[in-house]
Structure 1
Amino acid sequence: MPVDIHLEDDYFIIVITGPNTGGKTVSLKTTGLLTLMAQAGLAIPAAEGSRVSVFEQVFADIGDEQSIEQSLSTFSSHMTHIVEILGQADARSLVLLDELGAGTDPEEGAALAQALLKTLLDRSITALATTHYSELKVFAHTTPFVANASVEFDIETLSPTFKLSIGLPGRSNAFAIARRLGLPREIVAQAEILVSPQSLETEMMLAEIKRAREAALAAESEAKAAQRRAEALNADLSYRLAKIEEARRAVLDETRGLAEAELAVLQEEVDRLRGELAGLPRDAAPAGGRSLHERWLAEAEDALARRAAQARPLPALRAPEPLRVEGPLQVGDRVWVPSLQASGEIAAVSGREVEVKIGSFRVRLAASRVELRERGAQPAVQVQSGGAQPRPASPGMELDLRGLTVDDMLGELDRYLDTAYLAGLPFVRIIHGKGTGALRQAVREELRSHPLVGEFRAGENNEGGEGVTVARLVQR
């Protein structure tokens, strides 16, 4: 199973806690084995981009090597190894200690374990240690450069997940594991009564902290995904702006080239006229008229004026003022929403508020915040001599929306409800199918806020069940 083990600048000692068979020892072995494999030049099973620290020595005290022959108990065996480790380890060593302080009186073992960790900390020795002592959880939480870590355990399957969570102390889950293994409930209940209220409160707080941390990690992951989407959108917009700027520069360069060519033509024409004028006598003027010099100069001035007129930019177009219609707002009217810079259609009017349909969305706004631009089409009703108003043809009691997208469905459903209402139908049956439920949810959201629908319900089993919604229309 994959496990992530990492040391940061603010800690180099990790205290791992959690239930038995939870994977604490596996985490130690994985750390030591992969470190030695990497330093031996072997490929390690790690993700691309992983980094491994280099140590001159790796020390480990893992397992129980008690011996009757050598008169070594569990505690004595651990202490013998630890004494040897302390005699050789330095700041360039990695130390792995399993069940630190175990095998003796819990109070004395916890105190001794804290003293050992304090010694490793003072000597700047990188270390990973596993334990069940709550005192070490507190020590890791309150001591700089020491961090808590925990392994997760699946209570339902009684199997470890081998997932290491750095920064959060673990829970032993002894009662839950005993209960799952079949220990009589009355024994477990009696044991829970004997535990101090402070310990139970601590366990509950740890569970709450874990849930809060998981929620925070999920929110962080969501925020990072949103940030990546925003960065991608920003890059796309930057690229588009760069292309627009490039096109603008190309147009300006082309225009500048045309202007230079025009100026060159004009210059040639002026030079030609100047040359012709230079070869003529100054007083060659017909009686009662302008001299030839004056006529040619006038001709040149006319040519320059024509060129200047052609090069003059066109007057800027004035955007037409939007047409505003006066009068009360009604359902179906087209309106402009300045705050959203979008146009929409009035879906409902309620006192001083209106519901505006903009695309597939609906927003409720004060009537003063929208501008009436176009009256909606009002149904034409012919009055007969008898006083009765003929109803339009019935659109049928059923509307089948299967296969439509949500956007297409909304327009079709709106038109159908209008026609059914004018035809005087008491209720209608809308078929949207079951599928993923997206179309059903969109239909019912639309019906919930539609002014022509009094109430609606899911279809009965003989009506199509959840694949159908039955809506009762308001009466005219």
Structure 2
Amino acid sequence: SILGYLLQLNIRTMATTHYSQLKIYALTTDNVRNASVEFDIETLSPTYRLLIGVPGKSNAFEISQRLGLQDYIIDYAREMISKENVEFEDVLQAIDKDRRITEERKLEAERLQYEVDKLKDELNREKERIEKSKDRIILRAKEEARSILRRAKDESDGIIKELKQVSKAIDRDRNRKIQESQERLKLSLDEVEGSLSEDILNVQSKEPPRELNMGDKVEVLSLNQVGDVLEPPDDDGNVLVQVGLMKVNVHISTLKLSKDEDAEKTTVSTKRIIRSKSSHIKNEIDLRGTTLDDALLTLDKYIDDVYIAGLKEASIIHGKGTGVLRKGIREYVRGHRLIKSSRPGKHGEGGDGVTIIGVDT
């Protein structure tokens, strides 16, 4: 009634509403028109395009669904709206869909018309050029083109022939140099292997230990270093020994029990290394962006450093991604001898993109 009264007074009025009755009023009353600002449901934002003659549509249900509101709440809300309102909204939605399709077809028609006009202009220009040309000029141009093509072909054939000859010479020279390098490398490796076999690998203990347990101090004769036994000898007599920061697998015949003086020196040196590690090793490592093989190599060294530094817990950041890196890392840490526990990160720790490990210190 207010809008009708203002209309009788010939007062220009702009009114916004969500009521379908007022939208129908604008559709059925002279000198009153609907208008709306276009809204993009996909991006949940207005396009700021003013559509004259198109009534606005309520997008509450679509927006609520995009924002994650449960379907049963939305369905219940639909049931509370009158059938007339629902049908009117459906009509508005159909009108808006038809309007979009019409606009798209209009733009496509304009684009096609532009291309047609452009092709027509080009065709007319080409036609005029051909009409101005004489048969004699065209024939001469064709003969000159054939001559140019023949000369170009002859020149290209000559260049290709020269390139093939150069390529063969380069390949012969390269193969010769590769062969010479391989032979020099083989000789060098043979010399190094012989030296290692004679000076290091064949070092034998005069008094090899008869029995070794975890934690025993031994001297590795091939390295001239003192270390700690990490694992007892296996059936073949191989022993895993921690020498400073290195873990080496040596035969029991190259070991002998360490004296107290050497053990004390090694202990002091090891403590100094542990203090240095503790000041540099962080309690997290980021392996995102690496392949699984590279990540496992880096992780193995990191776990050793964490163990030496005495950290009880560390975070492995692998991200979520396709899951290949996460799955491979979690399977690896579950079977690692220095890891006593592992779990996915909690909320605030990185979630499923992080694995928390407990180190057996």
TM-score (norm 2): 0.31
Q: Bigger relative contact order, structure 1 or 2, given CA contacts below 8 A and separation 6+?
A: 1
TM-score (norm 1): 0.24
Structure with bigger helix share is 2
